[in-house]
Amino acid sequence: MIRDLINSIDNLKVVEKANKKFEITKILAENDGAPTYIKDVNGYEVIGNLCNREIIAKSLGIEVSDLVEYMINALDNEKNGELIVDNELKKEYVSDEVSKISQYPIPTYYEKDAGAYLTSGIVIVKDKDHGINSSIHRILVKDGKLIIRMVEQRHLHYIYNKNIKDGEVDVAIVIGVHPALLLASSTSGDVTFNELKYASALMGAPLKLIKCDTVDLEVPAGEFIIEGKITNKMEEEGPFVDITGTYDTIRQQPVIEITALKRKKEPIFHALLPGGIEHKILMGLPQEPRMYKGIRNTVPSVKQVSLTEGGCCWLHAVVSIEKKTEGDGKNAILAALASHPSLKHVVIVDDDINIHNPSDVEFAIATRVQADKDVVIISDTKGSSLDPSGDHKNKLTAKMGIDATISLRKGNKEEYIRAEIPDIK
């Protein structure tokens, strides 16, 4: 599946060989946002920068401009996604000794990293009450075992705490999957939300699974499959670079004991660059449908929503609306901040502005904003722990909204409209 997608990419960057310590980082950073294929890393093929908006849209057979609406429709049909266990797929795999994980092309990305990290694996667990959960977490590879970063507010942490009283939790980590699975595993729902069914809805086709050998799980047929047990043992995890490109702190996190390794006969390893565009897109893009729906409840004429790359696809957003009344811009600001609590700054623009073009957005701010009337500042509100400028002790930040829509009060909209060159017949 991954190989077919790679073969379909136009202008794929190709590199002959790289070392897994720092050199993969250098190559992916130099080509950030552009899919990059490395033919040989310790004898394995590696793909990086795989998921940008264009590649995700292409993998789903749609246009980039239709992504948010498409995801909303798939979310509405999540329960209708179809999962099929097909153990014939096992014939495509070979088993490795557990110790061989040290030979896999798992990168050490940055100088101060605690070691080699898995960054693109979808982590699958099962709860007897709520079913399957699939999510993405950074995982340190250390001394033949894994140490997984669990964010306290995420469902994996909830399922782990609920089930660890039995001594351990079955887990599988699948590396090298279709972008729909990465997108689905990055999506927040309630604890009953089935990310694998959502991936099926996104793909518009049944999702084929295989049964694991040493744990009670069925998982998508990725390029690499790591089976294991999340234990109640804790070890230091970190430091490691987060989405802002700055280092996160060291914490005590759960240890995963590996019970089995499987891989395709000629696998392609997916290296996801921490702080790169792919990382940002996979964090931010799944939030956009939720924001769109939240804003639409207040401003029905919302057109598009984008969490911007410059804002780490997490802290900054641009929203376009078809303005109907003078208060729509400020209402959209409040709705955007409410629908994505980590959001720090948001700009609301008219629908003639391309929200994916920073120059276009800046033009709207420059020509349609009066700071004393159109800027909203909210002090001491809950913010993102990823913002290094925030008050982390009290978990507070300041937030700002800019209403860069054309004022309806003056009644001279034509003054704001940019000149166009007519078609020449």
- Residue 97 lies in domain: 67-264
Q: Is residue 373 part of a domain?
A: yes
Give 411's pLDDT tier (boundaries 50, 70, 90). low
Give 180's pLDDT tier (boundaries 50, 70, 90). very high
Structural domain count of the chain: 2
Stretch 134-159: mean pLDDT: 93
Q: Is the pLDDT of residue 27 over 90?
A: yes
Q: Is the pLDDT of residue 154 over 90?
A: no
* Predicted local confidence at residue 358, as pLDDT: 95
Q: Is the pLDDT of residue 143 over 80?
A: yes
- Look at residues 231, 264, 297 and tell me which one is the last residue of a structural domain: 264
Give 372's pLDDT tier (boundaries 50, 70, 90). very high
Q: Is residue 305 part of a domain?
A: yes
∠ CA 50-276-319 to the nearest 5 degrees? 95
- Look at residues 264, 298, 322 and tell me which one is the last residue of a structural domain: 264
259 and 295, same domain (yes or no): no
pLDDT in tens, 238-247: 999 988 888 9
Stretch 82-95: mean pLDDT: 95
pLDDT in tens, 290-328: 999 999 999 999 999 999 999 999 999 999 999 999 999
pLDDT in tens, 193-237: 999 999 999 999 999 999 999 999 999 999 999 999 999 999 999
- How many whole angstroms separate alpha carbon 201 and alpha carbon 375? 40
* Predicted local confidence at residue 383, as pLDDT: 82
Q: Is residue 271 part of a domain?
A: no
Which is it for the CA torsion 188, 193, 199, 201, positive or negative? negative
* Predicted local confidence at residue 414, as pLDDT: 76
Instruction: Write down the mean pLDDT value for the chain.
Output: 94
Closest CA to 313 of 51, 2, 46: 51
Q: Report the CATH number that the domain containing residue 116 is assigned in CATH.
A: 2.30.110.10
Q: Is the pLDDT of residue 410 over 90?
A: no
* Predicted local confidence at residue 416, as pLDDT: 82
Q: Is residue 50 part of a domain?
A: no
- How many whole angstroms separate alpha carbon 1 and alpha carbon 192? 28
188-192, 333-337, 421-425, range with greatest mean pLDDT: 333-337
337 and 239, same domain (yes or no): no
Give 26's pLDDT tier (boundaries 50, 70, 90). very high
- How many whole angstroms separate alpha carbon 75 and alpha carbon 286? 10
Q: Is residue 47 part of a domain?
A: no
Q: Is residue 248 part of a domain?
A: yes
HSE, CB side, 13 Å, CA atoms: give it for residue 22.
5
239 and 123, same domain (yes or no): yes
250 and 334, same domain (yes or no): no
Give 189's pLDDT tier (boundaries 50, 70, 90). confident
Q: Comparing 111-115, 202-206, 241-245, 389-393, which segment has the lowest mean pLDDT?
A: 389-393
Q: Report the CATH number that the domain containing residue 319 is assigned in CATH.
A: 3.40.1670.10
Closest CA to 125 of 169, 158, 175: 169
Q: Which pTM value belongs to this model?
A: 0.91
- How many whole angstroms separate alpha carbon 383 and alpha carbon 395? 6
234 and 297, same domain (yes or no): no
Q: Is residue 279 part of a domain?
A: no
* Predicted local confidence at residue 190, as pLDDT: 86
241 and 293, same domain (yes or no): no
296 and 234, same domain (yes or no): no
Closest CA to 93 of 7, 5, 212: 212
- How many whole angstroms separate alpha carbon 75 and alpha carbon 359? 32
106 and 177, same domain (yes or no): yes
Which residues are designated catalytic?
Answer: 242
Q: Is residue 62 part of a domain?
A: no
Stretch 325-339: mean pLDDT: 96
Report the percentage of the chain scoring pLDDT > 70.
100
Determine how β-strand 93-96 pairs with β-strand 247-248: unpaired
239 and 331, same domain (yes or no): no
